[in-house]
Structure 1
Amino acid sequence: MNSLIRLELTRALRNRKFLFFSVVYPSVLFLLLAGSADSTTEVADTGLTLPTFYMVSMASFGALTAVLMGNSERIAKERESGWVRQLRLTTLPGRGYVLAKTASAAVVSLPSIVVVFVVAAAVKEVRLDAWQWGVLTLTLWAGSLVFAALGVAIGYLASGDAVRPITMIVYFGLSMLGGLWMPTTTFPDWLQDIAKWLPTHAYAALGQAVELGHAPHTKDVAVLAVSFLLFAGGAAWLYRKDTLKA
């Protein structure tokens, strides 16, 4: 499994287009969204200023890009090329394949998070305590595992031709409805009720709690934990189902 993780990391780091959209693009979006905002205007009902709010949102969006977009399309292509069929001839179990894909994607998501933080601190002068920077980085990095597992599941659910549109719908749907692009407080009440149960909303809420110096809400942790179990379990089941077809 370690060899597969190293291989996945090497392939991802060689893909310049993927690195641009997962590492550079979120920072550009942060500057566009928070570029003209001052450091005192607060986002309604959050207690956060616009720069601090969008720093976590765009770091979350960058991690989501890295783990979801990369995993789903790559796996669908590997299935069509026969690479996955070759892996089945090895001793690698289904859960090992899912864990390897999830872990390698999460490693790639770390630069996406850190670059947004650096830009926010340097350009918009976002200031947090040292422990907050550390905990915030670890929290968002660990949380990205949820969406890495989702990427694996989509890669096994969709064919090579269909995987991109399906991934884009899930990707933008979760990002917008989860409040990464705009505060969910601007949504209608019925849409806010839905957003509170989405993993992207819970993911960003963990980071926002750290910024405020608070402990994360139990519900947000539970939503992410249940989502991870569902996505990872679904990915492992789809892997085994795909194996039976071979």
Structure 2
Amino acid sequence: MSTPALIGAIIGATMSAKAAIAVEQVAMFLLAFGGGLFLPPMMFPDWLDVASRFLPVRQAREIVVGAASGTEIPLWAVLGIAAWIIVLGALAVWLFRRDEGRRYR
């Protein structure tokens, strides 16, 4: 499962459907911008370049760019995306199990 899907699952599990749509759109826009999907990270100021390396979208971007260009895929990107998937997956499972008995009675 991808990190945007896990983020969507977490947002959907924590708020109403109407609110979740708006929050999801804002969250994905911010992740896309911070991850370097609109501008290449080389154009970022130094502080934003460093901060964006911790975002799952930037890590996925680096993996795709490395694979498509034939260059080496950075280890920090692979480890980062794996960490995001583990943490967000565990959080999503916990939230859904917590909500299972309350919302569906």
What TM-score, normalized to structure 2? 0.89
Tell me whether 1:222 sits opposite 2:79 in the alignment. Answer: yes
How far apart are residue 244 of structure 1 and its match? 3.5
For residues 23 and 3 of structure 2, the distance between their equivalents in structure 1, rounded to whole angstroms, comes to 18
Tell me whether 1:245 sits opposite 2:76 in the alignment. Answer: no
For residues 243 and 212 of structure 1, the distance between their equivalents in structure 2, rounded to whole angstroms, comes to 45
Tell me whether 1:206 sits opposite 2:36 in the alignment. Answer: no
For residues 202 and 160 of structure 1, the distance between their equivalents in structure 2, rounded to whole angstroms, comes to 29
Q: How does 1:24-39 map to 2 (within 5 A)?
A: none
For residues 241 and 233 of structure 1, the distance between their equivalents in structure 2, rounded to whole angstroms, comes to 12
For residues 215 and 184 of structure 1, the distance between their equivalents in structure 2, rounded to whole angstroms, comes to 17
Cα RMSD between the aligned structures? 1.3
Tell me whether 1:234 sits opposite 2:82 in the alignment. Answer: no
For residue 181 of structure 1, the aligned residue among 25, 28, 38 is 38
Which residue number corresponds to residue 96 of structure 1? Answer: none
How far apart are residue 146 of structure 1 and its match? 2.4
- The answer to whether the 8 Å contact 2:63/2:73 transfers is yes
How far apart are residue 190 of structure 1 and its match? 0.9
Q: Percent identity?
A: 26
| Unpaired segments ≥5 residues, structure 1 | 1-101, 103-144
* Structure number with bigger Rg: 1
SS in 1 for 2:17: coil
- The answer to whether the 8 Å contact 2:56/2:81 transfers is yes
Which residue number corresponds to residue 29 of structure 2? Answer: 172
Stretch deviating more after TM superposition (177-186 or 149-158): 149-158
**Structure 2: which amino acid aligns with 1:206?**
I
Tell me whether 1:160 sits opposite 2:55 in the alignment. Answer: no
Stretch deviating more after TM superposition (195-204 or 152-161): 152-161
**Structure 2: which amino acid aligns with 1:199?**
P
For residues 158 and 147 of structure 1, the distance between their equivalents in structure 2, rounded to whole angstroms, comes to 17
Residues 127-149 of structure 1 deviation map (CA, whole Å, 9 limit, x = unaligned)? xxxxxxxxxxxxxxxxxx22222
How far apart are residue 216 of structure 1 and its match? 1.3
For residues 186 and 214 of structure 1, the distance between their equivalents in structure 2, rounded to whole angstroms, comes to 20
- Structure 1 consecutive aligned stretches of length 4 or more whose deviation exceeds 4 Å: none
- The answer to whether the 8 Å contact 2:67/2:73 transfers is yes
What TM-score, normalized to structure 1? 0.40
**Larger RCO, structure (CA 8 Å, separation 6 or more):** 2
